[in-house]
Structure 1
Amino acid sequence: MTELEGMRKSGRWRRHVRWALPLTLGLLAYIGFGTWGSAISSTIDSDDPSDVGAALAAFGLMILALLLPLVALVFFIVGIIRTVSEWRRDRRHATGRYNRAELADRAQREHFARAWAASTQLRAALAARHVPPQIQVWDVVPRQGEVFFSDTAASYARFYGQDVTYSRSGGFFYGHPLFVAAGVALSAAGNAARRSAAEAAAQAQWREHQVVRLIVSNQRLVCLVGGQWLSFDYGAMTAVYPEVEHWSLVCQFDTTSPLLLHGPDVPSAAVLTVLMTYGPDAVAQHPSLAPLGR
């Protein structure tokens, strides 16, 4: 049996467990608690006041014998609906029919798979000291000796805090002391809430989230942000975190805020960034790039 066939059979088994298990447990609860309650009831002497506890226990067991199967019935119905829905979905997939959301999800997964394979090949080539293929970029003027390796898209963010102001509300309250106290309390609560919101907004966090065009060269990362090209030179980087398993790259600088890139093509950019900042030996030795060699 192949691994794929085993996964399919395992998936079918889990789908059937969704409805078979609640049905089985419901029947066992009905039979078990019902029989137990009946056995206790048969020993109760209605004229003996000391049997009140036994009567209550028998009543409780009868309630469980009715309630638990009802709960199991709900899970049984939900399991049947999900099983039928997944069976119909598998039938559609077997005939090559996918809805729009499934097609988009499938295309995305294939994109990530191709990008991971390309990143793996790039790391292997660089570790073997092969020069990566170059591309022509007409949007960005190259510097002296600069060549470009990739032109793609990535999610972009920057990490920094900011100054936030908020307005305090006040008021003059006149009348009954309870009315005055309530007005003062509400005003103080509103000011406290606005102050807390302003403090949270001012804290350092990832900001400017957007999808940008990313160009990777032998000298810098170049991002098209809001219609403006921003350069992040390798020579200005003080720390590089190539988290390829999370499809992300974080770079820190002395003179500007940290940069976060995320997306299917970012592992390749991370490999090139490690090459240009740490040298060719680091491509094979950097622990965060090890997943690309598995």
Structure 2
Amino acid sequence: MGSNARGLAGWQEARTTQSDQWWTYAVGCARGLRAGAPPPTMTVHGLVMGRGEQPIVQGDVQYSRFWAADGTYNRTSTFALGHPAFVLSTLAVGAMVNGSRKRAARRDATMAWRETQQSSFLVTNRGILCHTTAKGWLRFDFAMVSEFHPDLPNWSVSLGFQEAAPLRLSGPAAPALALWCGHGILGNQWSADPRLAPLLA
């Protein structure tokens, strides 16, 4: 087995181990919640919590948002003087650049999952905080959620908002995120959501 194959196998094994650990954690917490136990809490240093806000769990996840750009782009204006061959080649290059920008703008105008990146997350009793490369820590309060889509078979959770682009979090921590988002958004009714039933099986 080559070193690349060994590396890939090691990565897959680590991911499987992480998935198993997160699944076991989520199932244990789900059973505890259904039995009436309060969510576990933890201590967090650095991030300032709101009054009465309790950190529950933190980890890493793949973060993405669903949006489209407005489709505009900057056109290159080309002006050339000189030999006809030089002028024609300059105009051709300008047309190629503008065509490329137009195609990219058209692609960006399509709704798609964007900003995909590995992100640290923290779940509290009030919402989720995610750390992004461009904007640092972003807060997504459960009170602002208008749609909740846990997808345990595909290890992801998507949240819709009235005033912001939808958020998708995916990866080994998805079962825990599905549980705590369900609890934070639906309250005690989370256990009646059939999409979360595998956590109680």
Q: Does the TM-score normalized on the shorter chain lie above 0.5?
A: yes
> How far apart are the structure 2 equivalents of 1:199 and 1:170?
22
Change over 3 Å in CA distance of 1:99–1:195 after alignment to 2? closer
Secondary structure of the residue that 1:99 maps to in structure 2?
helix
Of 239, 242, 263, the match for 2:150: 242
User: In the alignment, does 2:155 pair up with 1:265?
Assistant: no
The more displaced of 199-208 and 188-197 is 188-197
Unaligned ranges ≥5, structure 2: none
Letter in 1 for 2:174: V
Note the 1:81-230 alignment, pairs <5 A.
99-163=6-70, 164-167=72-75, 194-226=101-133, 228-230=136-138
Q: Is the 8 A contact 1:159 1:206 kept in 2?
A: yes
> How far apart are the structure 2 equivalents of 1:192 and 1:104?
41
Q: Is the 8 A contact 1:129 1:280 kept in 2?
A: no
Q: Normalization by structure 2: what TM-score?
A: 0.81
Tell me the alpha carbon deviations over residues 58-106 of structure 1, each in whole angstroms, 9 at most, x when there is no partner.
xxxxxxxxxxxxxxxxxxxxxxxxxxxxxxx7xxxxxxxx933322221
TM-fit CA distance, 1:215: 0.3
> How far apart are the structure 2 equivalents of 1:169 and 1:242?
48
Letter in 1 for 2:52: G
Change over 3 Å in CA distance of 1:140–1:191 after alignment to 2? closer
Letter in 2 for 1:246: N
Q: Is the 8 A contact 2:73 2:101 kept in 1?
A: no
Letter in 2 for 1:249: V
TM-fit CA distance, 1:162: 1.4
Tell me the alpha carbon deviations over residues 102-160 of structure 1, each in whole angstroms, 9 at most, x when there is no partner.
22221221111121121112222212221121100112111111111101111111111
TM-fit CA distance, 1:196: 3.4
Letter in 1 for 2:48: V
Q: Count matched residues.
A: 190
User: In the alignment, does 2:149 pair up with 1:251?
Assistant: no
CA RMSD of aligned residues (A): 2.8
Higher relative contact order (CA 8 A, sep 6+): 2
Tell me the alpha carbon deviations over residues 225-281 of structure 1, each in whole angstroms, 9 at most, x when there is no partner.
226221100101111111122111111112211111111112112111111111112
User: In the alignment, does 2:141 pair up with 1:233?
Assistant: yes
Letter in 2 for 1:160: W
- Bigger radius of gyration, 1 or 2? 1
Q: 4+ residue stretches of structure 1 with deviation over 6 A?
A: 168-172, 184-190
More strand by share: 2
Secondary structure of the residue that 2:48 maps to in structure 1?
coil
> How far apart are the structure 2 equivalents of 1:115 and 1:199?
39
TM-fit CA distance, 1:192: 5.6
Secondary structure of the residue that 1:143 maps to in structure 2?
coil
Secondary structure of the residue that 2:184 maps to in structure 1?
helix
Aligned to 1:11: none
More helix by share: 1
Secondary structure of the residue that 1:273 maps to in structure 2?
helix
Secondary structure of the residue that 2:148 maps to in structure 1?
strand
Secondary structure of the residue that 1:145 maps to in structure 2?
coil
Change over 3 Å in CA distance of 1:268–1:194 after alignment to 2? same
> How far apart are the structure 1 equivalents of 2:6 and 2:163?
48
Change over 3 Å in CA distance of 1:188–1:213 after alignment to 2? closer
Of 244, 262, 278, the match for 2:186: 278
